[in-house]
Amino acid sequence: MFSLGDLYKEVIIDHTKAPRNFGKLEPCSHDAEGFNPLCGDQLHVYLQINDDNIIENVKFEGQGCSISTASASLMTQVLKGKSVDEFNALFGAFHDMATADMDAQPDEETLGKLAVLAGVKEFPSRIKCATLCWHTVKSAIEDAGQPARTE
């Protein structure tokens, strides 16, 4: 049986209480809003992407549960300095980790510290909390103009 500790690891609690890169980024080249209608999570991400398609800076603000806040906080740390292509690869790897079979091992080489969120797959109703920020960045980059949704 999976324990609560698999989800609420110390790192996650730490990022919940002190989210990194929290706030507005001004000016920014891309931004988008994300909603999780199930729990009322609201997220706004801001990105500064340069002409070489490198994410120079990324910040977020909003209201959410521990999992969505910590996931966004960790994501911003990891994305700084990455290219948009690298973002897409990470997006795929993160999504796979969050929705994988119970006994699958996360791709730690690609994911690095993001692997700390692997526990969400044991909590089906919480997977969307962890993936919301990733969907939001994706829609910001693709300039979808529509708020991102986890539904």
**Phi and psi angles of residue 29, each rounded to the nearest 5 degrees, phi first:** -95, -25
Q: Give the nearest distance from C-beta 63 to other proteins in angstroms.
A: 5
| Sign of the alpha-carbon torsion through 110, 90, 134, 101 | negative
Binding mask of the shown chain, residues 23 to 52, with x at each position contacting other proteins by CB under 8 A: ---------------xxxxx----------
* 105 counts as binding other proteins under rule CB under 8 A: no
Q: How many CB atoms lie within 10 A of CB 33?
A: 16
| Nearest to other proteins of 5, 27 (CB atom) | 5
* 4 counts as binding other proteins under rule CB under 8 A: yes
- CA 102, chain centre distance (Å): 21
| Sign of the alpha-carbon torsion through 43, 56, 15, 117 | positive
| Nearest to other proteins of 13, 89 (CB atom) | 13
Q: What is the C-alpha separation between 7 and 13, in angstroms, rounded?
A: 10
Q: Which of residues 8-27 bind other proteins (CB under 8 A)?
A: 8, 13, 16-17
Q: What residue ranges bind other proteins (CB under 8 A)?
A: 1, 3-4, 7-8, 13, 16-17, 38-42, 63-67, 69, 123, 125-126, 129
